[in-house]
Structure 1
Amino acid sequence: MTRLREKSDSTFTFFSSPDKEDTMKTVTALCITLIVLAVCTSLVAAQKADLIFFNGKVITVDAGDHICQAVAIRGDTILAVGSDVDIQALADLQTRAIDLKGKTVTPGLVDSHYHLMYYGAQFWPGFLNIRHPVTTCKADLLQVLADYVQTLNPGEWISANQGFALQAYETVDRWDIDSVAPDNPAYLRHSSGQFSVVNSRALEIADIDSSTPNPPGSLIMRDEYGEPTGILSHYPAENLVGRHAPGYGNRSDQ
């Protein structure tokens, strides 16, 4: 804005003063600049890790099942996984850094009732695989057993992993297994992990008959005449046969 100023000698001079609109633009631009700087500073700080683990094997369980060297954490969030160089770039003077020295870091195991070691043992190569979906019903189970018996000599154990599956209306007992494997002791665990089924030959080896008492906390299931049906409910009863079966031995609730 340009104004006229009258001098004492009645002459006039021109002078300029800042326009209010220009002043507001300048102030606004300055504020925006300060805000952007503050946001950028916050973003940089937010990308820094509180904690890093490096020089290890970080199991990601991602789609490619990658194993990385290091992981960066901020608060309760994993910022990144990657190489030592990549992850150490996310650290500052306040970051706690832990050298894993080649050790392994795994994701949290959130299933509170997962028998991890026993699950892994099911893949022992000496077991006959009867796990679902190899078996989905009684007919499947008996067919798998019949085929397997053809590869064995009489007296060799049929020791199977956990476990076979049945339809809701089906049961399987010693006599069913005897029909396809009369000369080979068999120890088969159900997918529930709560009972096993064995055949007559296995009962003989374990010296189980109608006079055998139920072990504490378990049952030897019997027919109406008191004869064992081959169904052994829970570990103490299962162990009577399982301790003879290759790959098993005694099990407990521990």
Structure 2
Amino acid sequence: MTNSADSVILGGNVITIDPAKPRAQAIAIKFDRIIVVGQDDEVKSLIGINTRVVDARGMTIVPGLIDAHCHGLYSGRRLQLEVNCSSDTLPSIIEVKKAIANRARITPKGEWTCGFGYDDTKIAEKRLLTCLDLDEVTLDHPVWVHHVSGHIGMLNTLGLRKANLTKESPDPAGGKYGRNPDTGELNGIVFETAQDIFNSGRNPIIPYPRPE
């Protein structure tokens, strides 16, 4: 039977998300594609000798919901309120610093100036930002730049001070504070759980910005 389905599901409570036919009982599948959604009698005609038949026994079947892990609301907030440091728009550290400086100029003194999407593997200089870089941008605002991976944050000196971090601060479990290899001074780069004090938990140091 050449028009038989590869698989059919019978006896289900199928939610179709189709206003014209919101409910069905059965589904027929061929070549990994749904070819029929309807009642059992409609789909049974597509059963061949090699068709796999599944009895849903009244269970509910819904369309697949695919989470692309894009954090839609969070991403929208960032695009509105933070500096997009992607190398697609800011291909060098010089341009990243200029963009952050521009945002700092319209940010009240003492408030956080934040950026996101920085990628050291694609930026021209092929390195992370340090507090020396970000101190050149502003000394009046704490600065936070989030790496595109989500696993690294970069701060200026004032940002480190906001967290009371010093040379003597021990690395947190599961994280690390970047340090100058010669002096041991913090270099403004925080890895993994070392970011949590800034942007996670109930009382992060960087307040959750909300559009007015």
TM-score tier by shorter-chain length is 0.5 to 0.7
Structure with bigger gyration radius: 1
1: CA distance between counterparts of 2:160 and 2:107? 19
| 2:207 paired residue number | 246
1: CA distance between counterparts of 2:70 and 2:126? 31
2: CA distance between counterparts of 1:76 and 1:247? 47
**88, 93, 104: which one pairs with 1:149?**
104
Indicate conservation of the 8 Å contact 1:177/1:198, yes or no: yes
TM-score norm. by structure 2 comes to 0.68
User: What amino acid does structure 1 have at the position aligned with 2:162?
Assistant: I
Decide which structure has greater helix share: 1
Number of residue pairs the alignment of both structures matches = 184
The answer to whether 1:56 aligns with 2:13 is: no
% same residue: 15
Report matched runs for 1:31-70 at 5 Å.
Answer: 42-44=1-3, 46-47=4-5, 50-51=8-9, 54-57=14-17
Q: RCO (CA 8 Å, sep 6+): is it higher in 1 or 2?
A: 2
Q: C-alpha deviations, 1:102-134, integer Å up to 9, x for none? A: x55235x7xxxx8x2658633334443323423
User: What amino acid does structure 2 have at the position aligned with 1:189?
Assistant: H
| 2:50 paired residue number | none
Q: CA RMSD in A?
A: 3.6
Q: C-alpha deviations, 1:222-245, integer Å up to 9, x for none? A: 22222211011222x112333211
Which structure 2 residue ranges, 5 or more long, are not aligned? 48-52
User: What amino acid does structure 1 have at the position aligned with 2:140?
Assistant: D
Q: 1:124 to 1:74 in 2, by over 3 A?
A: same
Report matched runs for 1:110-149 at 5 Å.
Answer: 116=69, 121-125=74-78, 126-149=81-104
User: What amino acid does structure 2 have at the position aligned with 1:43?
Assistant: T
**103, 110, 113: which one pairs with 1:158?**
113
2: CA distance between counterparts of 1:163 and 1:119? 18
Which structure 1 residue ranges, 5 or more long, are not aligned? 1-41, 59-67, 81-85, 249-254
SS class of match (1:146): helix
1: CA distance between counterparts of 2:146 and 2:161? 18
2: CA distance between counterparts of 1:179 and 1:124? 26
SS class of match (1:124): helix
2: CA distance between counterparts of 1:151 and 1:164? 25
TM-score norm. by structure 1 comes to 0.58
Q: C-alpha deviations, 1:209-228, integer Å up to 9, x for none? A: 11111112322112222221
